[in-house]
Structure formats: C-alpha cells, structure tokens
Structure 1
C-alpha cells in the first residue's frame, strides 16, 4: 500500500535536480514506480513500456480530457522505451492522488505487456469520470446514505471481530464486486434507507443476491433517521471514527483508497458535515433457498443487467441474527 510515509521518504531534500523513485510491485514484469521531482517535489506515478505499447495508447492520449490538478503524459526515453507519467499538479488533490496512483498501479501490474499503457490510461479516465460525476456538490443523498450504512457495518461488525487490515480488505464494494463485503465464510450486501417503514428494497443487478461461489450470503438493511443538525453522526464523523480504529498505516491507506473509489474525496470534506444520521435499526436476512430474488441462472438467454425490487414483508421467514453473522465473520460458525 502507498502511504504518506513513502511519499515523505521520496520528498527528502536532494542535492541535485532530478527525481527520487521507488519501484512498486517488484514481482511484476512491469517497471512501475512512484516518483518525486526535485526541487519542485511534484508527486508522480511512472510506468515504462516499449514502443508497441506506446503505439497502442496514442489514440487515447489524443482525446484525453484535462482535469485540474492532474496531468498525464507519455514521453520517449529512447527509440524503444517510453514512460507514462501521471502527475499531481495541485495540492488540493494531494489526498486523492495517493489512492488514484495505487489503483492505477494495481490495475496494470499484471496487464499484458503490449496493453499496459492502455490499461493505465483507461484507469486514469475512470478516475476522471468519477471526479466529474461527483462534481462540486459531492456525493448525492442516496450515495451518502449507502456509504454511511457500509461504514456502520464495517465499524460495528468487522472491526470488532477481525484485525483492522482484514476488516478493511473485506470491504470490496468500492471495487465493483457483486456484494459490498466479501469474507472467507460469507458475503454481505448492505442497503440503507430513511423510509420509516420500507415496503420494498431495490436490488441493483441479477448478481447482487446471487450466492454462486459464496458459502453464505446475507442482506442487511440499515434504517436511518436523517436530519440537519441534531445529535446524529455526520458522514465525516463516521469516517473519522472508523479511521481512528485502524492502528495500521496500511489499513488507513486501504480505507482511504476505498473511500476515494466511491467518490468521498478529502478536499470536499466540508460538504459532508451535514446531514446527520441516527441509527434506528438493522435488519438481517439469510439469502438462500426460496429467498425472493432474480439470479443470472433464472434469466432467459439474451437478458441481463436487471434491477428489481423485493418486498420487505416477504423476507420475514429468512431473518438472520447478528450473532449468526458475527460467528461467520470470526470463523467460529459453520
């Protein structure tokens, strides 16, 4: 994991102009490095590849949109060697750049040699799109509630029962996995609502409640009271409390990466002091057997990417207990 201490080591004053670099993923066939320029101390992610990879990525570079605070370029080092540079150009995005650099580096470390630069640029484009989608107003209401619910489950269920790094690594939803949390003995999908008595729950796809390859699958509904002011927790307070429980810098870096992947950016913290959330209740259901759901195997050929709603009243006989879920998290329940 890339953390602030690694950047500070690279930023240590140097007598000569140039760059300090540190290679990432030494086991990778690709030369992926963090770099800091001297004397300017500009942070960079550096990726070297051959001419074939550079030729394939040029069409993407020609149409690359500009993003304030971030710059991407590709330059030749020799007739056969090229270097892709992702640079931080504005300190306001300093805390965003670390998860961005780590995400791109992890994406490309196992990529085929001729497509490694293309994979890096496409991942950079993904981050540009994420930042445009979030925009100046930050995450929308539904996204904020969803993030609060996931952080609540992380804090109250995982961090009480797992080592901090293992707990944060189980939070895989920001990476686009089918469920929000994936553990050795179970997977958990978390929904959040402010409805007083929710009638239905929206399921995003036919894979979200598909337990194929999963020993046990649980659906959680976090019911919240949401208001401006009052005694509840803001999203910022919740993030800070989770971070305070992570004793390892590596776990903190992992948390920050996942938050950034969702679109919770540190330079927009002032947007998340309101509203405040108060927990009303948490409902848990065991997703198996006759649980009402659509899964991929049920769909006719040619049908996919389905969202649907399930009736909360139909879930009563599938209830699970907190103790049941915690036992699986700890690995003490079969």
Structure 2
C-alpha cells in the first residue's frame, strides 16, 4: 500500500497548536498500530509504532544521525501497549526521514503479530548500517557504477530465467556477500569498468573469485561508456526492475530493502545523473587456470588485486550458458 506521508504530516501541522503530540492513524479505515505524529517542540515529524510492553526490551535503538528514538505511552487498542516513537531532529533531514518511514511502514504492513518486532528490529539494523556506511552525498561514482552493473544483470535474470522472487532473493551484492548473485549453488560476480585498454577490474578479496563449494561461478564484466544524452542512468535501471516486479509484492519488498542495503535512496536520485551505454558485455567461467588469487598465507588479509580482461578470453562463455547454469534450467 502506498501512502503520501508528507501530506499526512502537513495536515497534522495545521492541527498543531503547541501540543505535546498530535497524531492520526496511518490508515483511518482500519487499525494498523501505526500513527503519524507531530511532536513538540518545533513541529517535529514522527511516526508511532504500537508494541506490547514485553516487546519493548527486545528492540535495540537504531543509530541514526539526525533522528531520534524513544518509547512513549499512548492510548491505543491494546490498553497496555507502548509506542515506539521515531522522529527527525533536524528539518533538513525530513526527506530522508520520509523515505525511512515509508520503509518501516512497508515492512510492518507485511508482518503479522508474531514477526512484527523481529522485522522491525531488522529494519532498524538495516538503516543503522545505511547511515554508518553512506554519507550525506550518496554513493561514490564507483559504487554507482557497481550498482548499475548489478541491476543490469538482475534484469537479464528476471527476463530470461528466474521468477521475480527467486531473482531478487539471489541478489546478494547489496548485503556485502562475496559474490553478487547466488542461487542453487551457482554464483555470479559482476564488475563494471569505464577504462580504456588494457581494461582491468578490481577484485576485493580472495573469496570473490573462489568457486570452492559452488557448482558454477561466472564473472560478468560490463564495459561502460559515459554519454551526454541517451543511455541509461542508475535511476532508470532501478525503475526498470521495479516495473518487472510490479505484480509480485513480496519480491518488490525484498528489492526495496536490498536497494537500501546497497546505499540507494530515491531521495538521492537527482545526484545520479550520469548515463551509460554498455560498450561490451563479457562473461567468463571461473575455474582452474583462471587468473585469480584464492588462497593466502596465514596473517595476510584485506587482499585486493586487479585482473586484466584480455588474458581471460580463453574462459569466455555465452550469456545463455551462464543463465542455464545459474537457473538450473536446461543442459549446459
């Protein structure tokens, strides 16, 4: 369900007369345990989430710069219930807070009573990680291109082999896994580059190209051109995936959570204005003999190295082969 949260807050501001708190139910037609609120002082935007007293101790306050967390009493359907109050401390952070609030509401609307608190805590943790990793200026150019590449591959998987739910569930790059996509024992790692020849890609650890315990591991290298007009932007790529998932609410919800994990907020979309065309798409079979480092001596860590694409040609395979191996459909 979509809600215009800013409209709700603006309506409450008109009713505010210096009260300690003025609030309304999120859905006036039914009780959801979620309320929109304005707090004193300063017409502070907030959302209130009803929880039982015994569940309060199970919640760890989130670490959100510019945002606050407290437990307040409020009369609700459950007479003994408490309300988690999330509020924005600085008006300049309201756009991010609106995005955050929408995510919290989306998670709670798909939760039943038995999973409500657990899912709420998971949401808190995801946003805590977001603010720890990503600064106010959004993602770096390298990270933008990396996410762009992952979404290009996700689109291929959704269009040619996997169901919406399996497709978004296989996307692991947003959560910091070793490979970007994992499904049924197969994995795909995605790299993007805008460099000229000799083209190289950076590998961030000895685990990234390690196919131990995997039935197959493919490396997808997308060589991009930055263009002034035409092409595809990162927000365009996000919109395409959303369209492919529009008929599967669960898959769409997982995708939205993964976008946040990846550092993408719609609020920052205007910062991601670069457009790309794909100059080449190359797929390599990661197996014995491929140029890589998969083991290091004890005491060695934080390994990073580069692989020159031209020496990988003997390991090249088709997109069809990659899809068959990754989806488990058809013969290799």
Shorter-chain TM band: 0.7 to 0.9
Contact 1:93 1:267 in 2 (8 A): no
- Checking the alignment, whether the CA contact within 8 Å between 2:173 and 2:181 is kept in structure 1 is yes
1:289 Cα deviation after fit: 1.3
- Over 3 Å counting, the alpha-carbon distance change for 1:303 and 1:170 in structure 2 is same
Aligned to 2:26: 11
Classify 1:188/1:280 alpha carbon distance in 2 versus 1 (closer, same or farther; 3 Å). Answer: same
Quick check: 1:125 aligned with 2:140?
no
Uncovered stretches (5+) of structure 1, i.e. residues with no partner: 22-34
Whether 1:159 aligns to 2:159 is yes
Shift of 1:12: 1.7
Aligned equivalent of 1:194: 194
State the shift of 1:49 in Å.
7.5
Matches for 1:1-334 after TM superposition, within 5 Å: 4=2, 11-13=26-28, 20-21=32-33, 35-37=34-36, 42-44=46-48, 67-68=65-66, 70-74=67-71, 85=84, 87-89=86-88, 90=94, 92-99=96-103, 124-130=127-133, 133-135=134-136, 137-227=137-227, 229-246=228-245, 247-272=247-272, 274-295=273-294, 298-331=295-328, 332-333=330-331
Unaligned runs of at least 5 residues, structure 2: 9-24, 40-44, 75-79, 89-93
Aligned counterparts of 1:117 and 1:92: Cα–Cα separation in 2: 18
**1:97/1:308 CA distance change after superposition, 3 Å:** farther
CA distance in 2, matches of 1:86, 1:286: 50
Q: CA deviation at 1:294?
A: 1.7
Where does residue 14 of structure 2 map in the other structure?
A: none
> Shift of residue 299 of structure 1?
1.5
Count of aligned pairs: 291
Q: Is the 8 A contact 1:14 1:39 kept in 2?
A: no
3-state SS of 1:159 partner: helix
TM-score, normalised to structure 1, is 0.72
Relative to 1, partners in 2 of residues 1:194 and 1:38: Cα closer, same or farther, differing over 3 Å? closer
CA distance in 2 between partners of 1:205 and 1:4 (Å): 40
TM-score of the aligned structures, taking structure 2 as reference length: 0.73
Q: Once the 2 structures are TM-superposed, how far is the Cα of residue 271 of structure 1 from its aligned partner?
A: 1.4
